[in-house]
Amino acid sequence: MYVGPVAGECDGALLAGLRGRFVGAGLQGWLRRTEAGDGRVVPALLPEALEPPPLGVAVVSELDHPEVELVAGRFAAAGATVAITRGARGATILSRAGRLQVPAAQAVQVDPTGAGDVFGVMLTLHLGPAWYGYGFAVSLLVVVALALYLLDRKLDRLEYETYMLQ
């Protein structure tokens, strides 16, 4: 199961209700808040970021918070496998066992919206109980292959639409 809080709506109580399940989470919604006066979104550490709930996987972008390394370290210390996504520079994977830099596959970026969520869901699926024994490296290869496949389909559609506009 994967949760992706946008503004803190998936709190520790919700995750506690999922006990016994392998859960992955996108951390973005626990790393920001909305200013009461003008509605601006500003960096913040919600309770789940200060005292991480039990997770199997945590995914965060390097752009989500100025203290992203500290936040990722907290989740890794709590037992999660943490991926800090870095766009075209790949991802940094943290766990209690150590740190691994994973380069990004070569691709032409069209629209990065949702890329981190897709990465997070696939990482959670492939590190979950159904895939135990296949190894972390195979999981990352599957995520990269799926991302390239989806990107290729999107580029094909974009080329077709560009041709039709001419």
Domains of the chain: 2-165 (3.40.1190.20)
pLDDT in tens, 138-155: 556 666 666 666 666 555
Token pair 């559609």: residue: 157
DSSP code per residue over 78-135: TT-EEEEE-GGG-EEEEETTEEEEEPPPP---S--TTHHHHHHHHHHHHHSGGGTTS-
pLDDT at residue 69, as a whole number: 95
- Alpha carbon 72 to chain centroid distance? 11
Collect the ranges in the chain with pLDDT lower than 70.
20, 130-166
What does the block give as tokens for 7? Answer: 């503004």
CB 156 within 8 A of CB 128: no
pTM exceeds 0.95 for this model: no
pLDDT at residue 45, as a whole number: 92
Spatial distance between the Cα atoms of 30 and 85, rounded to a whole number of angstroms: 16
